[in-house]
């Protein structure tokens, strides 16, 4: 089986729970604080690992207290580290979650070397086996964003999954247009899709995105489930009942599950159905990472036909 190249960040998530987000000049107390390994690319790659789908995580690991934490955590989990630059610092992501809210997170991000990409980062990766790539909007927005795009231009044979994220409207227009012209498969949420297209419904947004890319579109709908559009048919997968602790990593885990499911030959309907089970498990716990035991329970809960197709 060929592999997915996952480009992007592995970062320290500092999860801060507060009664409510502070207003300017206000003083609020932290009710609980923790840290874990996160980052969009890492969380996507970890779901691929859980599914047993081949992948390589192309992330630059720097130095400083955050870089050292990422380095040790990746080693602990047996994740190959292809790029190590201790002379440059990693950043971190402060994930703010309100105690009395709905679990929605707000991010304050300090970007370091983990958000950069140079083609030289791939020198120790088996690039001959790559047939698909995952990229995130944060890396495209960075000063090395064009380097990712130029690399993808060299490989039109790749299937490219692109999660632009909540900063979708801040990605420079020329970069966004170039990516759309490459036929990327967009994975985004309802609000992002409607803001980007200016459409009034998520169905209209999906069709507009397909018109611009010529590729399938996946849109997560939160407590309403998920939608996919392949240019011919709109597929809908209902939500999976869960209790929400926080939404950190929900979109990343969903994207990773979609990529994995498609690699195992599942249809778009089946892929978003399976992905809903995975993201439901992620939001039911603190932080964006599933441990092996958590994922085993997800697999047990999947409909039997999906489990059999995945081969678990």
pLDDT of residue 312: 54
Sheet of 226-229: strand order equals: 55-58, 3-7, 130-136, 159-163, 185-189, 217-220, 226-229, 234-237
Residues 3, 129: Cα–Cα separation, whole Å: 6
pLDDT of residue 162: 98
Residues 206, 211: Cα–Cα separation, whole Å: 9
- On whether the CB atoms of residues 249 and 287 are closer than 8 A, the answer is yes
Each residue's pLDDT expressed in tens, for the chain with a length of 312 residues: 799 999 999 999 999 999 889 899 999 899 999 999 999 999 999 999 999 999 999 999 999 999 999 999 999 999 999 999 999 999 999 999 998 778 888 999 999 999 999 999 999 999 999 999 999 999 999 999 999 999 999 999 999 999 999 999 999 999 999 999 999 999 999 999 999 999 999 999 999 999 999 999 999 999 999 999 999 999 999 999 999 999 999 999 999 999 999 999 999 999 999 999 999 999 999 999 999 999 999 999 999 999 888 875
Q: Are strands 92-98 and 105-110 parallel, antiparallel or unpaired?
A: antiparallel
CB neighbour list of residue 46: distance below 8 Å, 6 or more residues apart = 77, 256, 289, 290
pTM: 0.95
What count of other Cβ atoms lies within 10 Å of the Cβ of residue 180? 17
């Amino acid at each position: 089986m060929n592999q997915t190249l996952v480009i992007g960040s592995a970062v320290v998530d500092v999860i801060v729970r507060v009664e409510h987000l502070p207003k300017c000049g206000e003083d609020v107390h932290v009710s609980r604080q923790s840290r874990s390994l996160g980052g969009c690319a890492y969380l996507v790659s970890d779901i691929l690992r859980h599914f047993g789908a081949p992948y390589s995580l192309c992330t630059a690991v720097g130095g400083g207290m955050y870089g050292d934490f990422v380095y040790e955590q990746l080693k602990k989990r047996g994740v190959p580290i292809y790029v190590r630059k201790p002379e440059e610092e990693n950043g971190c992501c402060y994930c703010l979650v309100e105690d009395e809210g709905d679990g929605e997170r707000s991010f304050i991000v300090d970007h370091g070397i983990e958000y950069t990409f140079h083609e030289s980062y791939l020198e120790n990766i088996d690039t001959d086996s790559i047939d698909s790539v995952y990229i995130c909007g944060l890396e495209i927005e960075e000063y090395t964003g064009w380097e990712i795009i130029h690399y993808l231009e060299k490989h039109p044979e790749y299937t490219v999954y692109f999660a632009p994220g909540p900063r979708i409207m801040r990605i420079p227009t020329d970069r966004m247009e170039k990516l759309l012209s490459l036929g990327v498969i967009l994975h985004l949420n309802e609000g992002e899709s409607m803001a980007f297209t200016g459409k009034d419904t998520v169905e209209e947004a999906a069709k507009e995105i397909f018109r611009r890319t010529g590729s399938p579109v996946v849109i997560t709908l939160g407590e309403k489930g998920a939608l996919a559009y392949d240019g011919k048919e709109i597929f809908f997968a209902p939500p999976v009942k869960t209790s929400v602790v926080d939404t950190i990593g929900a979109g990343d885990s969903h994207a990773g599950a979609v990529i994995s499911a498609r690699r195992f030959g599942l249809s778009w309907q089946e892929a978003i159905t399976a992905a809903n089970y995975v993201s439901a498990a992620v939001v039911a716990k603190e932080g964006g990472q599933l441990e092996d035991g958590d994922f085993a329970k997800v697999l047990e809960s999947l409909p039997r036909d999906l489990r059999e197709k995945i081969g678990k």
